[in-house]
Amino acid sequence: MKQNNKNNFSTFLPQIKGQGVLLHICCSPCAVEAVDRMVSHDIVVQLYFYNPNITNPDEYQKRLKEVQKLADFYKLPLFEDVYNPKDFLCSVKGFENEPEKGKRCDLCFQMRLKRLKNYAQDHKIAYTTSVLGVSRWKDFNQTVRAATESFLSANGTSYLPINWRKEDSEPKRLALIKERDIYEQNYCGCPFSKS
């Protein structure tokens, strides 16, 4: 049977090698392998942290600190966008009780990816992507649908729907987390994802 490689990193590589890519990053354990792979393939990575869905400020700071460590390790620029959990809570109002991978997550992904698009447009960055679909608790196709919706009116920028889970990446990701002693949270981020 023919394999579908359309979301593989290696499929996008000829297009982005030597180019700048803005990476939306939700947390270090989801991002470490993707960042490592991009840097080792001469991609000029910028990290973008916009996650008001992490409504607990202590937890937010903990994840941001880990992302800063990642940026320092690879000597990459990191931009932290505004932190306003109220914006997140308003955007998912009425959908708090949805299950994970449901409508609440659609809205959450769209909120973050729309802002990624705006930042990329304002800074004239041609390519963006994210690691929102890396966790085994997430549905990669849901993140792609949210990105498609969020980038509908994009001007001068585009979203690369890279599936970072493909191409045997998981053992490397787990090894990097262990080697660097990266903090791994036990819930997605919003209060509704805590079991």
Which parts of this chain interact with ligand SF4 (CB under 6 A)? 53, 100, 104-105, 108, 188-190, 192-193
Q: Smallest distance from the beta carbon of 135 to ligand SF4, in angstroms?
A: 9
Q: Smallest distance from the beta carbon of 192 to ligand SF4, in angstroms?
A: 6
Q: Smallest distance from the beta carbon of 109 to ligand SF4, in angstroms?
A: 6
How many Å apart are CA 183 and CA 185, to the nearest integer?
Answer: 6
Q: Smallest distance from the beta carbon of 41 to ligand SF4, in angstroms?
A: 28
Distance of CA 36 to the CA centre of its chain: 14
C-alpha distances in angstroms, 79 versus 71, 82, 116? Answer: 10, 10, 11
Residue for token digits 């942290």? 49
The full 3-state SS of 64-124, as one line of letters, equals: HHHHHHHHHHHCCCEEECCCCHHHHHHHCCCCCCCCCCCHHHHHHHHHHHHHHHHHHHHCC
Pick the closer one to ligand SF4 by CB: 81 or 100.
100
Pick the closer one to ligand SF4 by CB: 157 or 189.
189
Confirm if 146 and 53 have CB atoms less than 8 A apart: no
Please report the DSSP string for 2-17 in residue order.
----TT-HHHHHHHHT
Q: Smallest distance from the beta carbon of 92 to ligand SF4, in angstroms?
A: 6
Pick the closer one to ligand SF4 by CB: 29 or 189.
189
Q: Smallest distance from the beta carbon of 193 to ligand SF4, in angstroms?
A: 4
Residue for token digits 């994009």? 154
